Structures are given as structure tokens and as C-alpha cells.
């Protein structure tokens, strides 16, 4: 029971990250009717941008000392008499890194937003109104371009990046078993859930959110109602690439940074389809379910089985409910 709890919590934590990634895919789909197969590679770029601004830039000669490692007197004094791996030490180590973490996040957000805009303007807009096949394959082509470009710009090396939150170990006993949690993971989960909720609220209550929903409903009607559809498109892409940047930064701190991050996109694609392409709630349920299922599979069957959980799940769901758990049915006219 204790172990079950442990892996359920692990699963919920990765599920929250899946949800954060999925929110980008859903937003782009709602606004533009395009499903971005290359979303995982946008995330990878976010991770690399975070790495660039949080690790590479502070190491450069022109960067001030405090950017690399901010250690005021009081902090050194506090740190001196703490053991190596105590919770307080973890918090202090995190605070020393805080300037570069913030710079990293800011850089990742801005750069990824620009990248998203570039993709939207240069590649997606010319294909507006084309077949689903062309749209999908365009994003498939984008996969190769992005992953090749990342390898050209950053050597494909697994690098360490500073965690977004203090990585205090949390350890408690429940049902007679030890439960181990990473502080940073809990914080990541909180960040992911807050952003998810924020975006759902934004789409529901703000003006630009209404524009997105109107565009999703009917593009030409939205156009004639005075909504600038191209702006909506751009906004959706920026939303997707910035949430992707944060997801990328989180994944980079959790799993190390490497081109393999791009593969997350495919699992999340399966999750999004499972939940229903245009339903935030459905996607949230699917993300959490897949996260927990994966963790439990990992526990009972081993790591190699965990990798195919999303794909098996999506096949089953699609066969039973072709439009996902809560997706709305498409109506076709002949």
C-alpha cells in the first residue's frame, strides 16, 4: 500500500507535467485546427534556451559574479555550519542559484515565444485551410528541422541545469512504508497545475480567450465579427511555445537536458487525443491517468514497459470513443 502510494504520487507529478505540455497542444488546436507533432521539439528548444541562459550565459566573461552564484555574507554564514544534504542547505543552495534560474526562465520564455511566432508566420500561415495531411506532415518535417538545428547550436550533451525550486528531500512514513519525494518535484507540479488552471481561466474569462474560443467555433464567422484571426493564431502559438518553455525547463531539471526530450511530444500527443483534442478537462484527466498508469507500470513491470503506456491507452480509448474522453464530435457535411 505504501509503495502503491509512492508510485501514485510519482505518477501525479509527471502527469502534471504532461498536462502542462498538453495545454499548448490543445490551445493551438482550438485556435488553428492544427495539431503540432513537433511540440515536443519546441519543448526541447525551451529546455536548451533555459540551459543557455541559466548555465552558459552566467559563465561568460562579461556576466557579473552574482549571476553565476549569488552568495551574500549572511548566506555563507548560514551555510557554513549546515551538513551537506540537509533541507536548509538545499534551500540555501537554491537561493544562490536564484538569479540565474530567473534569467534562464525569462530567456527561455522570450526565445521560445519568438520561435513559436516564427514557425507560425513562416510555415503554418501559408498552409491555412489546407488538408489535415499537409498540416500534420508540415509539423512532422519541422521535427527534423528543429532537432537538427538543436544539435547544430548546442552539442548534444547531457548537461546539469539548476532546479527551479529547492530540491529538499521529503521523506515520511505511511502505511508502513517509506515515501520519498523530491521538493523540486512537488514545486514543479504546483507550477504546472497553476499555469494549467491559469490558461483555462484565461480562455474562459478574458477577451482574448473568448476570441480563441470563437475562432475554434467557426473561423470565418469569427473573422466577420471583427476578431483578428491571424492575431488569435499568433497568440495561440505564443501560448503553446511559452508553456512549452516552462515544461522544457522543468524536464531539463528533472531528467537532464538532451535531444531525447523531443520524444515527450509523442507521448503527450497520445494523451491529448485520448482526452479529446479540444477539451481542457478531458486532457487533464488523460494526462493524470497516463502519468499514474506509467508510474504503476514502472513499478510492477519495469522501465521498458512504461514507455508504451500512452500509446496503448490512446489506442484503446480511440477505439471506444473515437473523439477521446471528452472531445466534441466533429460534424462533417458532404
Partner 1 sequence: MITGNLKTSYRADEQVLNNRWKRGFVLAAIAGLAAIPLFGNNYIVLIACQMGIMLIAVTGVNVVIGYTGLMSLGHAAFVAIGAYATVIFHNAAGGVIPESLLTLVAIPFAVVVSALAGIIVGLPSLRVKGLYLAVATLSANFIVIFLIEEQLFAPWTGGMNGINTPTANLLGWELSTRRELFWLIAVLAVLALLAAQNLFRTRVGRAFIAIRDRDYSAEILGISLYRYKLMSFAISAAYCGLAGALFAYFYARILPEQFDLHLSLMLVAAIIVGGMGRTMGAVYGVIIIVMVPEVIKVVFGALAGGGAELAMIRAPIQEIAFGALIVGFLLFEPFGINQIIDRALRALNRWPFARG
Partner 2 sequence: MRLNRRHFLAGSAAATATLGAPALLRAQPSEYVIASSLPLTGPFATAGQMVAPALRMFEALVNEDGGIGGVPIRVTAEDSGYVPANALANYQRALATEPNLIMYFGDSTGFMKLVAPELRGENARLMGSTSFASELSDPANNPYQYLPGPSYEDQFDILLQQIADEGGSTVAFIFSNTEFGRDPIAHGRARAEELGLRVVLEEATREQGADIPTHVTQLAQSGAEFCILQGYVTGVWPQLIGGARQFGLPTRFMGTFWGMENAIADRVTAEAGPILDGYAGVMPYKYFYDPERGPVYERYATFQKTAFAGTPLENYMPTWGLQALLSLTIGVEALRKVADKGLELSADNAAEALSELRDWDTGGFFGVPVTMEANKIGTGRVYQYSAETRLFTPTSDWFTV
Q: Is 319 in the site for partner 1 (CB under 8 A)?
A: yes
Q: Which does 127 bind (CB under 5 to 8 A by kind): partner 1, partner 2, none?
A: partner 1
List the grid coordinates of 131. 488538408
Near partner 2 by CB under 8 A: residue from 59, 130, 231, 255: 255
| Least distance between partner 2 and beta carbon 265 (Å) | 12
Q: Residue 63 has which C-alpha cell?
A: 556576466
CB 271, CB 18: distance < 8 Å: yes
158 binds partner 2 (CB under 8 A): yes
Identify the residue among 88, 132, 141, 160 touching partner 2 (CB under 8 A): 160
For 108-136, give one letter per residue: b (16+ CB within 10 A) or e: bbebbbebbbebbeebbeeeeeeeeeebe
Using rule CB under 8 A, residue 138 touches partner 1: yes
| Residue matched to cell numbers 477539451 | 279
What is the dihedral sign for C-alpha 208, 209, 212, 218? negative
- 73 binding partner 1? (CB under 8 A): no
- C-alpha cell read off for 113: 515565444
Selection from 194, 248, 181 nearest residue 41 by Cα: 248
Residue of the chain from 65, 73, 81, 304 that contacts partner 2 (CB under 8 A): 304
Tell me which of 256, 266, 293, 321 binds partner 2, using CB under 8 A.
256
Question: Cell numbers at residue 41, please?
Answer: 521539439
Separation between Cα atoms, residue 41 and residue 39, nearest integer Å: 5
Confirm or reject binding of residue 315 to partner 1 (CB under 8 A): yes
Q: Which residue has the cell 512514513?
A: 173
Q: Is 168 exposed, middle or buried (0-12, 13-18, 19+ CB in 10 A)?
A: buried
Give residues with Cβ within 8 angstroms of 143, minimum separation 6. 37, 38, 40, 41, 262
The C-alpha cell that represents 320 in the structure block: 471506444
Of 178, 228, 322, 328, the residue at the interface with partner 1 (CB under 8 A) is 322
Q: How many residues bind partner 1 (CB under 8 A)?
A: 42
- Contact between 35 and 241 under an 8 Å Cβ cutoff? The reply is no
**127 contact partners, CB below 8 Å, separation of at least 6:** 134, 135, 138
Q: How far is the CB of 264 from partner 2 (least distance, A)?
A: 8
- The answer to the question of residue 300 lying near partner 2 (CB under 8 A) is no
Instruction: Give the one residue of 157, 174, 194, 206 binding partner 2; rule: CB under 8 A.
Output: 157
Q: Does position 263 bind partner 2 by CB under 8 A?
A: yes
Q: Is 10 in the site for partner 2 (CB under 8 A)?
A: yes
- Among partner 1, partner 2, none, what does residue 315 contact (CB within 5–8 Å per kind)? partner 1
- Provide the grid cell at 317: 480509448
Stretch that binds partner 2, among 114-122, 125-133, 194-202, 297-305 (CB under 8 A): 297-305
**Of the candidates 16, 13, 18, the residue with the CA atom closest to the CA atom of residue 263:** 18
Rounded to the nearest whole angstrom, what is the least distance from the CB of residue 314 to partner 1 in the complex? Answer: 6
Q: Does 293 interact with partner 1 (rule: CB under 8 A)?
A: no
Residue 10 binds which of partner 2, partner 1, none (CB < 5-8 A, kind-dependent): partner 2
C-alpha 1/C-alpha 141 separation (Å) is 46
Interface contacts to partner 1, rule CB under 8 A: 35, 123, 126-127, 130, 132-134, 136-138, 140-149, 151-152, 266, 269-270, 273, 277, 304, 307-308, 310-312, 314-315, 318-319, 322-323, 332, 334
Interface contacts to partner 2, rule CB under 8 A: 3, 6-7, 10, 13-14, 84-85, 90, 93, 151, 155-158, 160, 167, 169, 171, 177-178, 180, 182, 185, 251, 254-256, 258-261, 263, 295, 298-299, 302-304, 306-307
Amino acid at each position: 500500500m505504501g509503495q502503491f502510494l509512492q508510485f501514485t504520487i510519482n505518477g501525479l507529478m509527471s502527469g502534471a507535467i504532461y498536462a502542462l505540455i498538453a495545454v499548448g497542444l490543445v490551445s493551438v488546436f482550438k485556435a488553428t485546427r492544427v495539431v503540432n507533432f513537433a511540440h515536443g521539439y519546441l519543448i526541447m528548444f525551451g529546455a536548451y534556451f533555459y540551459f543557455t541562459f541559466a548555465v552558459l550565459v552566467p559563465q561568460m566573461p562579461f556576466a557579473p559574479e552574482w549571476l553565476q552564484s549569488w552568495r551574500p555574507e549572511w548566506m555563507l554564514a548560514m551555510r557554513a555550519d549546515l551538513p551537506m544534504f540537509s533541507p536548509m542547505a538545499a534551500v540555501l543552495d537554491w537561493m544562490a542559484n536564484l538569479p540565474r534560474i530567473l534569467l534562464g526562465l525569462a530567456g527561455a520564455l522570450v526565445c521560445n515565444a519568438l520561435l513559436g511566432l516564427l514557425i507560425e508566420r513562416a510555415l503554418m500561415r501559408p498552409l491555412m485551410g489546407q488538408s489535415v495531411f499537409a498540416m500534420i506532415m508540415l509539423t512532422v518535417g519541422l521535427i527534423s528541422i528543429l532537432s537538427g538545428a538543436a544539435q547544430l547550436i548546442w552539442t548534444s550533451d547531457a548537461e546539469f541545469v539548476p532546479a527551479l525550486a529547492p530540491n529538499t528531500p521529503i521523506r515520511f512514513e505511511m502505511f508502513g512504508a517509506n515515501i520519498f519525494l523530491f521538493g523540486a518535484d512537488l514545486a514543479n507540479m504546483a507550477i504546472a497545475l497553476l499555469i494549467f488552471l491559469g490558461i483555462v481561466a484565461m480562455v474562459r474569462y478574458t477577451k482574448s480567450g473568448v476570441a480563441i474560443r470563437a475562432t475554434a467555433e467557426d473561423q470565418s464567422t469569427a473573422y466577420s465579427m471583427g476578431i483578428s484571426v491571424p492575431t488569435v493564431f499568433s497568440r495561440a502559438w505564443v501560448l503553446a511555445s511559452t508553456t512549452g518553455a516552462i515544461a522544457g525547463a522543468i524536464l531539463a531539471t528533472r531528467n537532464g537536458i538532451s535531444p531525447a526530450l523531443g520524444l515527450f511530444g509523442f507521448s503527450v500527443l497520445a494523451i491529448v487525443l485520448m482526452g479529446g483534442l479540444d477539451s481542457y478537462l478531458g486532457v487533464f484527466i488523460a494526462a493524470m491517468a497516463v502519468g499514474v498508469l506509467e508510474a504503476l507500470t514502472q513499478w510492477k513491470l519495469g522501465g521498458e514497459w512504461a514507455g508504451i503506456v500512452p500509446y496503448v491507452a490512446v489506442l484503446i480509448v480511440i477505439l471506444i470513443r473515437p473523439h477521446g474522453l471528452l472531445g466534441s464530435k466533429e460534424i462533417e457535411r458532404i
